[in-house]
Amino acid sequence: MIEVIPAIDIIDGKCVRLTRGNYDEKRIYNESPLDVARAFEDAGCRNLHVVDLDGARSQHITNYKVLEAIASHTELKVDFGGGLKSDDDVRIAFECGAEKVTGGSIAVKSPTTFERWLDTYGSRRVILGADTRDGKILTDGWQKGSNQSIIPFIEEYVQKGITQVISTDVSCDGTLTGPSVKLYVEILKKFPRLFLIASGGVGRLSDIAELERNGIPAVIVGKAIYENCITLKDLERINLTGTCLPDA
């Protein structure tokens, strides 16, 4: 069974979604991320992916109070990313209730810092963010490119002990046009023991089913839920039965 992990992206303390990582195409879906998190919990979700989009564009964690509210008022296990650029940022995230943290830009720009987090907290609590466009790793809230190709980038950190990777194909993110299944199959072919979390492009239940058929262990879903392409009742049924398709 593929695990479906709902997402909450935060700007100015509000629940938003972007399209292809473009901050100019921001849409606010709810003023209260906590209310959204509670709805996911009521639908039977156990894990939640939270991204501090303000932090991702800045040099430090920003929306940690939102994280703290969600962690304090729900039983959800939160993976938190965005703006984690120092040891203090990670400390704040864990103190505010994060179960796990995701580091993307920091793994590109300051590998020694990211490796220190991995050594300090372990591979169970530190996830590698491998966000890409056209096969190249992106940084700074997807606003900047790099010269690093995704497969060698992941390989470097697998050799250093990483066991969990979230990979977003930014060209698909927020489009509802389907995920980059080929990319994820390529990654798992190279790293079959990796717990790979797909992200970006999911627009319908059949997209999740396709990822499952190809052996992808988990997927993050955001805009499809907020646009009711995948409903909270769908999430509840998946969590109860493990069934991705209505007629399956």
Active site residue 140: no
pLDDT 10s digits, 72-99: 999 999 999 998 999 999 999 999 999 9
In a domain, 248, yes or no: no
In a domain, 193, yes or no: yes
In a domain, 236, yes or no: yes
Active site residue 24: no
What is the overall mean pLDDT for the chain? Answer: 93
Mean pLDDT of 181-206: 97
pLDDT 10s digits, 20-43: 777 878 899 999 999 999 999 999
State the total domains in the chain: 1
Judged against a pLDDT cut of 70, whether residue 144 lies above it is answered with no
In a domain, 208, yes or no: yes
In a domain, 168, yes or no: yes
The residue annotated as part of the active site, out of 89, 131, 169, 207, is 131
In a domain, 42, yes or no: yes
Which residue matches tokens 């929306």? 63
Mean pLDDT of 98-103: 97
In a domain, 176, yes or no: yes
Range of the domain at 166: 3-241
Distance in Å from the first CA to the final CA of the chain: 13
* DSSP E strands, the chain: 3-11, 14-19, 22-30, 47-52, 77-81, 100-103, 126-129, 132-133, 136-139, 144-149, 164-168, 195-199, 218-221
What is the crossing angle of helices 33-42 and 64-73, to 10°? 30
CATH number for the domain that contains residue 117:
3.20.20.70
Please report which confidence band the pLDDT of residue 163 belongs to, taking 50, 70 and 90 as the band edges: very high
Element (H, E) at 191: none
In a domain, 184, yes or no: yes
Q: Residue 52: what residue type?
A: D
